[in-house]
Structure 1
Amino acid sequence: MTLTAVTGHRAKLGEGPFWDAPTQALYWVDIAGKQALRLIGANVQIWQMPEHVSAFIPCESGDALVTLSSGVYRLDLDSPGLTPRLTLFCVADPQPGNRPNEARCDAQGRLWLSTMQNNIGEQGEDLPIVRRSGGLLRIDRAGRVVPLLRNLGIPNTLLWSDDATSVYFGDSLDGTLYRHFIRSNGALDAPQVWFGPHGRGGPDGSAMDAEGFIWNARWDGHCLLRLSPDGKVDRTIELPISRPTSCVFGGADLKTLYITSAASPLGHPLDGAVLSIPVDVPGKRCTRFAG
């Protein structure tokens, strides 16, 4: 596979890649660097956020959602990068000391947002995790918040089965990816262990391909694992980065895999870069927020 760094930007903690098929644009964030980034063609736009930002998701209305420490905000995409225009949309998790983490939209365009104890200092330094204070919430286009899970450590990965009866959800503190069945009323059944722990790093973000296989980024594992629908390792994709954090399928045919990453003590030249890799199977499209 040919790996390419798509820009010269290097993140402290790159995360949350989102491919917007209608505009052929890649969205992602640098959580610790407080940046929301968008790549269209060869042009990178960066909006400097006032707080840590974990996700950057375009909306059907033409603006975008950014998940900040104090709440979910709408970002005017026409506003300047150094003075972004932000409007509070909702406060999903009011618990002091928490921050948002993984966030994605389901097929209905509802935002599923996870939170965790904040583990990033003001200068981007790591803080120890001492409590499982995180949760998983679902937010509709009107800003209504429905709690789904609680007592989470480091929530990562949010993917849904084709029939929308299951959600795949991980907790890096457990080293495990879980499967939850979704009840008819929208609540989640108890978790079932789907994959892990595994010796190649901890589970971080993931993407699903058209065959229902999950491509999971392995923090400190230098690789991605392609996992079969029954939770077995189908393939290991070695990477020249220490800490891959997540991935998404993009490109005109959805056969380019974009991989975000974080800086690491090993200081590899591509740590913090967004990498692209051509793959032999297309992925599933990302869904914009419905509001």
Structure 2
Amino acid sequence: MSAEILETIDTGAILGEGVVWNAQTQTVWWTDIQARRLYALTWPGLALTMYETPERLCSFGFIEGDDDRIVAAFETGFALFSPHTGDVSWLDKPAQLTRGRRLNDGRVGPDGRFWAGSMIEKPDAGLSTDDTGFYCLDTDGKARLEQPGLEISNGLCWSPDGTRVYFSDSPAGEIYTSAYNGQDGRFGPREPFATIKDGGPDGAITDADGHVWSAIWGGNRLTRFSPEGDISLDLELPVPQPTCPVFGGEDLDLIFVTTATEGLSDDTLEASPASGRLIILEAPEGVTGLPGYRYRMDR
């Protein structure tokens, strides 16, 4: 099944990622990790703004009570970043983020904590997955490693009631789920949720009915999974490397999808010219998203 494409926004992204909807300003934000750029687009006005970032910005979230800064997962650690001024206030730089390991996909959870996965960027560096997983940036600005053992942590999202969390290990093709304790920000035991055989699960989001939407890197599609892990829908996309979806628009009935050109041949790029663009889709009838969450800092 396909969905109507309303717009594609051409930024020539190498690795578009981390797309987030800001309901207060009716804007969609995303990062091009490798180009060290952050983008903001008004909807439906289509006014595009680009900001340079001091390091590769891997994921980010908005902050409760602070519209001037974002909470940022840069390649070497966590910071508060002002896109308009370029000011950076570092919060925590985990010691494991060295020698070919960096932060990756992330999202603010329903309890106001910010989470970001890490990944082994240089597989030949002899790094152990024991030090690679998801980091929880708590409200005090300190990070701790949770769920180690993942080579490329991705696809972080929560059930509508916040009691379950979903995440993936892209090279393994596995999506997992765990119980989530919003009181202390802890994952329960990891459980299998779904396996992807023709592509890798990348960024993900849940809809208002609790279904998980995963961007399938190398698979030309978004796949929607029921809360039980069964495929309920495949949405074909005109790109081989979709990276991350988010619901947005005034009624949360649009899907914004980032894409990548990284590693694609000239022939593939010619055959899929929407690669590297932000794709804006009309969600299937009856499907809507959930409002996003904001990072809550201790004052």
| Alignment correspondent of 1:203 | 201
Q: What is the match of residue 52 of structure 1?
A: 56
1:112 maps to amino acid:
W
Measure the CA separation in 2 of the matches of 1:128 and 1:159: 30
Match of 1:192 in 2: 191
Looking at structure 2, the residues matched to 189 and 75 of structure 1 have their Cα atoms a distance apart, in angstroms, of 31
For structure 2, the 5+ residue unaligned runs are none
Q: Secondary structure at the match of 2:209?
A: coil
Aligned partner of residue 246 in structure 2, secondary structure: strand
Which deviations, in whole Å up to 9, do the C-alpha atoms of 1:25-84 show, x marking residues without a partner?
1111011111111112322221212322111322122211222122212222332xxxx2
SS in 1 for 2:149: strand
Where 1:174 maps in the other structure, the secondary structure is: coil
1:289 to 252, 275, 295: 295
Q: State the TM-score, normalizing by the size of structure 2.
A: 0.87
1:240 corresponds to which letter in structure 2? P
Q: 1:106 & 1:93 partners in 2: Cα distance?
A: 24
| 3-state SS of 2:232 partner | strand
Q: How far apart, in 2, do the equivalents of 1:4 and 1:195 lie?
A: 30
Matched, 1:67 2:73: yes
Pick from 102, 112, 123 the counterpart of residue 105 of structure 2: 102
Distance in 2, matches of 1:51 and 1:260, equals: 19
The percentage of aligned residue pairs carrying the same residue is: 29
Structure 1 pair 186/288, CA: closer, same or farther in 2 (3 Å)? closer
CA contact (8 A) 1:36 1:56 kept: no
Q: 1:225 aligns with which of 213, 223, 228?
A: 223
Helix, strand or coil: the match of 2:160? coil
Are the aligned partners of 1:18 and 1:28 in contact in 2 as well (CA < 8 Å)?
A: yes
Aligned to 2:33: 31
- Contact 1:27–1:56, Cα closer than 8 Å, also in 2: no
8 Å CA contact 1:159, 1:169 repeated in 2: yes
SS at match of 2:91: strand
| Change in CA separation of 1:25 and 1:147 when aligned onto 2, cut-off 3 Å | same
Worse-superposed segment, 177-186 or 15-24: 177-186
Which one of the candidate residues 238, 241, 248 is aligned to 1:240?
238
For the residues of structure 2 that align with 1:282 and 1:32, how far apart are their CA atoms?
A: 31
Alpha carbons of 1:257 and 1:108: their partners in 2 closer, same or farther (altered >3 Å)? same
- After TM superposition, the score normalised by the length of structure 1 is 0.90
Q: Deviations over 1:129-168 (max 9, x none)?
A: 7543412111122202232121220111111123322211
Q: CA deviation at 1:94?
A: 4.0
Residue 255 of structure 2 is aligned to residue 257 of structure 1: yes
Identify the range of structure 1 (48-57 vs 167-176) with the bigger mean alpha-carbon deviation. Answer: 48-57
Q: What residue is the counterpart of 2:163 in the other structure?
A: 165
Structure 1 counterpart SS, 2:17: strand
Checking the alignment, whether the CA contact within 8 Å between 2:8 and 2:274 is kept in structure 1 is no
**Secondary structure of 1:150's match?**
coil
**How far did 1:224 drift?**
0.8
Query: Does the CA contact (< 8 Å) of 2:208 and 2:290 recur in 1?
Result: yes
* Residues 113, 185 of structure 2: 8 Å contact kept: no
Matched-pair contact (CA < 8 Å) for 1:256–1:276: yes
- Distance across 2 between alignment mates of 1:57 and 1:229: 25
